Chains A and B, each alone.
Chain A
């Protein structure tokens, strides 16, 4: 094991909420032991499934979020003997990560107060929809419901002319669960650094609602300073006032996202030359386009709107990859609006070894999936094993425990 967390043991009791945090720890070297009930983590019932055939070992959602973990089945909800196994396992662990409703683990005598005495310096992190207390602590959510309450959804949507009366839109990919896990990571790692210095463990209360509520960028400052709620716009930042479109259709039917055109004079000169060499933007030579302020979108300048209209005409005459690369080569931070799998076709990510092969039940051979979120020079991300089959490591882990004095 080469990751920065090698030697760290984590006991994970998580379904969809929290399994990403377990993965992030496991992928950097921690020995993450996922303790599952006899019928498996509920995440094993989430599709898509291999060839659309459900089964505890065929969920691609589970495959992705449980890399590098070991799976141990313990019926801790019903069997005292298994609760005892779990306690003995915790006695060997550095971190316990759980995602149950507040009060559930304490009701099984498996709460932090029950477990802390088993292991010096134990860190326990509870990830819940709303935190351990407060009037909503026992309210129920899904990823979408949390994205609604936390605020991200009300930032995403449509201009009225694109979709009259459209609701706030939820970005897919379980980004509410993901954001909760990202913040849980911060808490666990900060606690670990404190333990490095003092040997002290502690309890961490991670609320998905709070994690999302501070992940809405300009939305909250506009309220705090102007008492203004931003308005939703198609494919671009919600804002106090309506701004120019950012997405333009290319000839091949893909959209290209344009976040400014020629913001500085040097890159503007390159764009102008490129467009004009192909017969577009001939009016860009007019002096009024020389001012960066006039070219800046969302400031009401007619030049900004005219430039974007010409961008629309230029894109419609070319394929998305051509305008994307042509723009980037000229200092423009443009991007094609791709489906996630279309990144597999871009050799840049393969240059960096980003996509990695995995396998599992029902798949002959291997399939690629996203790999490291960061490249560490000394202690790299590593895929040691694919997601575990249900209970794959029960006897292995119980034997390890039995072998301990």
Chain B
């Protein structure tokens, strides 16, 4: 087994729901020892999240939770108990990183703001991931992924013109805020490696979303154009670069679609050849990109009559063979069952889980040649590692562990 690049890095993980656990999933995939600190009275709601397996929720049978929490450990700790809080502080002292995605004032209210954390562990890297950040007049406001997508403009930037926004059909900003947090933590680790200095990283989920809209913001501040205007968003047609044809087209079967993007005249000519040179395509109005843009409705209708004669994968293969950018709108089922690319690159992995049985997982992206990330264990059962962590990380003898357990510290 090759070594893991983050071996020996310990993370005290106070995160829950999706955004925080996504950040620690990245760190865990690359070998960090991620210790989820959980409490029965404030359970991570995703432990109850659908899809679950079995007739009733057990806190350990959520496939949703399992998807985001592989490679991690779980301890039960009642931080409201004075001894539990003391153990939390000892765990922080033994950790390189503390990460949480509570509302902005929660850790402060526990007496664990950054200066206090630094008293416990001087070089701690503390990453807080909240909706609005830990400063500014609205710091007490809160978000879920969809809220952050709405406020950052991402929801409005997805949809057909003249319709309500389609938005994002999942919490893209839970994933992506987590991705930014993981990057930030690793950059802070690099700085600590060189200087011995830790720091606080204050990450706002809405700001991370706004970072993904830069050209749209600049079009307003430079050119005075807002995305809130007639004809926007442009559906699956191109915004910039402004090219046509560029859309999704229905194929044979129910709700099957292929995305086709023609970026220049050469690709247009390749598309025409792939469609077997239909007479309509010789219309001089379609000869230039400007002409194709001006007559997109007719162009798209013509292409659609061709795509509906084939399956989506047939269209994709025909066009890719001709050098035209085309891809099937794949479901999760398509990716898992048929996608030859994911399969050829050994993307899928299986690990046993005590309640869920053998579970399939995505692999680790990207692939590192020397120290690749990998899957080591399924998501932890609630509190599965409490005893081991107390013994191995905090050197708590078994006798004292039993006393603390009897006092209700590990629940």
Check B132 against A348 for contact (C-beta < 8 Å). Answer: yes
Residue from A150, A182, A354 in contact with B330 in the complex, judged by beta carbons closer than 8 Å: A150
User: Which residues does chain A contribute within 8 Å of B335, judged by CB atoms?
Assistant: 150-151, 213, 220, 223
| Residue among B26, B159, B220, B228 with most chain A CB within 10 A | B159
User: Which residues does chain A contribute within 8 Å of B213, judged by CB atoms?
Assistant: 173, 340, 370
Check A375 against B50 for contact (C-beta < 8 Å). Answer: no
A146 at the interface (CB under 8 A from B): yes
Complex: A201 Cα to B174 Cα, angstroms:
31
User: Which residues does chain B contribute within 8 Å of A39, judged by CB atoms?
Assistant: none
Q: Would you give the 0/1 interface string for B132-143, flagging 1 where the beta carbon is closer than 8 Å to chain A?
A: 110111111111
Check A257 against B215 for contact (C-beta < 8 Å). Answer: no
Chain B positions 342-385 with a Cβ under 8 Å from a chain A Cβ: 342, 344-345, 347, 356, 359-360, 362-363, 365-371, 373
| Residue among A162, A233, A328 with most chain B CB within 10 A | A328
B-contacting 9-mer, from A56-64, A83-91, A102-110, A281-289 = A56-64
Closest residue on chain A to residue B114 by CB atoms: A377
Complex: A343 Cα to B326 Cα, angstroms:
35
User: Which residues does chain B contribute within 8 Å of A349, judged by CB atoms?
Assistant: 136, 207, 210
User: Which residues does chain B contribute within 8 Å of A64, judged by CB atoms?
Assistant: 214-215, 218
Chain B positions 21-53 with a Cβ under 8 Å from a chain A Cβ: 26, 30, 49-53
CB distance from A381 to the nearest CB of B (A): 10
User: Which residues does chain A contribute within 8 Å of B235, judged by CB atoms?
Assistant: 169
CB distance from A365 to the nearest CB of B (A): 10
Q: Would you give the 0/1 interface string for A213-226, flagging 1 where the beta carbon is closer than 8 Å to chain B?
A: 11111111111111
Complex: A331 Cα to B193 Cα, angstroms:
40
Q: Would you give the 0/1 interface string for B199-224, flagging 1 where the beta carbon is closer than 8 Å to chain A?
A: 11111101110111111111111110
B408 at the interface (CB under 8 A from A): no
Residue from B52, B138, B174, B233 in contact with A217 in the complex, judged by beta carbons closer than 8 Å: B174
User: Which residues does chain B contribute within 8 Å of A162, judged by CB atoms?
Assistant: 163-164
A185 at the interface (CB under 8 A from B): yes
Complex: A262 Cα to B128 Cα, angstroms:
25
Residue from B140, B152, B190 in contact with A189 in the complex, judged by beta carbons closer than 8 Å: B190
Chain A positions 139-161 with a Cβ under 8 Å from a chain B Cβ: 139-142, 144-158
Complex: A214 Cα to B361 Cα, angstroms:
9
User: Which residues does chain A contribute within 8 Å of B147, judged by CB atoms?
Assistant: 257, 259, 333-335
Check A374 against B202 for contact (C-beta < 8 Å). Answer: yes
Closest residue on chain B to residue A249 by CB atoms: B164
A72 at the interface (CB under 8 A from B): no
Q: Would you give the 0/1 interface string for A41-73, flagging 1 where the beta carbon is closer than 8 Å to chain B?
A: 000011110111000000011011100000000
Check A369 against B150 for contact (C-beta < 8 Å). Answer: no
B-contacting 9-mer, from A190-198, A303-311, A395-403 = A190-198
B170 at the interface (CB under 8 A from A): yes
A135 at the interface (CB under 8 A from B): yes
* Contact-residue bracket for chain A: 35 or more
Check A169 against B236 for contact (C-beta < 8 Å). Answer: yes
Residue from A165, A228, A337 in contact with B155 in the complex, judged by beta carbons closer than 8 Å: A337
User: Which residues does chain A contribute within 8 Å of B197, judged by CB atoms?
Assistant: 378
| Residue among B204, B221, B222 with most chain A CB within 10 A | B222
Check B207 against A125 for contact (C-beta < 8 Å). Answer: no
CB distance from A136 to the nearest CB of B (A): 4
A301 at the interface (CB under 8 A from B): no
Complex: A247 Cα to B208 Cα, angstroms:
22
Check B172 against A171 for contact (C-beta < 8 Å). Answer: yes
Complex: A173 Cα to B139 Cα, angstroms:
26
A312 at the interface (CB under 8 A from B): no
CB distance from A357 to the nearest CB of B (A): 9
User: Which residues does chain B contribute within 8 Å of A82, judged by CB atoms?
Assistant: none
User: Which residues does chain A contribute within 8 Å of B327, judged by CB atoms?
Assistant: 139, 141, 145-146, 148-149
| Residue among B174, B242, B342, B365 with most chain A CB within 10 A | B365
User: Which residues does chain B contribute within 8 Å of A186, judged by CB atoms?
Assistant: 26, 30, 179, 182-183, 186, 366
Check A183 against B160 for contact (C-beta < 8 Å). Answer: no
B301 at the interface (CB under 8 A from A): no
A394 at the interface (CB under 8 A from B): no
A-contacting 9-mer, from B272-280, B317-325, B388-396 = B317-325
Complex: A64 Cα to B225 Cα, angstroms:
16
Complex: A175 Cα to B215 Cα, angstroms:
12
A-contacting 9-mer, from B85-93, B255-263, B291-299 = B255-263
User: Which residues does chain B contribute within 8 Å of A213, judged by CB atoms?
Assistant: 335, 339, 342, 347, 362
Check A46 against B240 for contact (C-beta < 8 Å). Answer: yes
Check B180 against A246 for contact (C-beta < 8 Å). Answer: no
User: Which residues does chain A contribute within 8 Å of B146, judged by CB atoms?
Assistant: 236-237, 246, 257, 259, 335
Complex: A344 Cα to B155 Cα, angstroms:
17
User: Which residues does chain A contribute within 8 Å of B360, judged by CB atoms?
Assistant: 224
Given contacts A144-B246, A235-B155, A349-B136, contact A153 B329 (CB under 8 A): yes
CB distance from B296 to the nearest CB of A (A): 15
Check B207 against A48 for contact (C-beta < 8 Å). Answer: no
Check B228 against A342 for contact (C-beta < 8 Å). Answer: yes
Residue from B155, B323, B362 in contact with A140 in the complex, judged by beta carbons closer than 8 Å: B323
Check B211 against A370 for contact (C-beta < 8 Å). Answer: yes
B303 at the interface (CB under 8 A from A): no
Chain B positions 139-197 with a Cβ under 8 Å from a chain A Cβ: 139-144, 146-160, 163-172, 174-176, 179-184, 186-191, 193-194, 197
Check B217 against A369 for contact (C-beta < 8 Å). Answer: yes
Check A235 against B165 for contact (C-beta < 8 Å). Answer: yes
User: Which residues does chain A contribute within 8 Å of B132, judged by CB atoms?
Assistant: 348
Check B241 against A336 for contact (C-beta < 8 Å). Answer: no
A130 at the interface (CB under 8 A from B): yes
Closest residue on chain A to residue B67 by CB atoms: A221
A341 at the interface (CB under 8 A from B): yes
B406 at the interface (CB under 8 A from A): no
Complex: A78 Cα to B233 Cα, angstroms:
41
Complex: A213 Cα to B201 Cα, angstroms:
28
Closest residue on chain A to residue B214 by CB atoms: A64
Check A191 against B248 for contact (C-beta < 8 Å). Answer: no
Q: Would you give the 0/1 interface string for A14-46, flagging 1 where the beta carbon is closer than 8 Å to chain B?
A: 000000000010001000000000000000011
B64 at the interface (CB under 8 A from A): yes
Complex: A349 Cα to B328 Cα, angstroms:
39
Check B248 against A225 for contact (C-beta < 8 Å). Answer: no
Check B226 against A377 for contact (C-beta < 8 Å). Answer: no
User: Which residues does chain A contribute within 8 Å of B365, judged by CB atoms?
Assistant: 183, 187, 206-207, 210-211, 214
Closest residue on chain A to residue B324 by CB atoms: A140
Complex: A374 Cα to B201 Cα, angstroms:
6
Closest 4 CB pairs of A and B: A340-B153, A225-B63, A64-B214, A341-B220
In addition to A45-B241, A193-B6, 11 A-B residue pairs with Cβ atoms within 8 Å of each other are: A139-B320, A147-B259, A151-B330, A170-B158, A172-B157, A190-B5, A213-B335, A237-B169, A340-B210, A351-B136, A370-B210
CB pairs A–B below 8 angstroms (18 shown): A48-B215, A64-B215, A135-B341, A141-B325, A148-B259, A153-B329, A163-B160, A167-B250, A171-B168, A175-B154, A190-B368, A220-B362, A236-B167, A259-B146, A337-B165, A339-B157, A340-B213, A378-B197
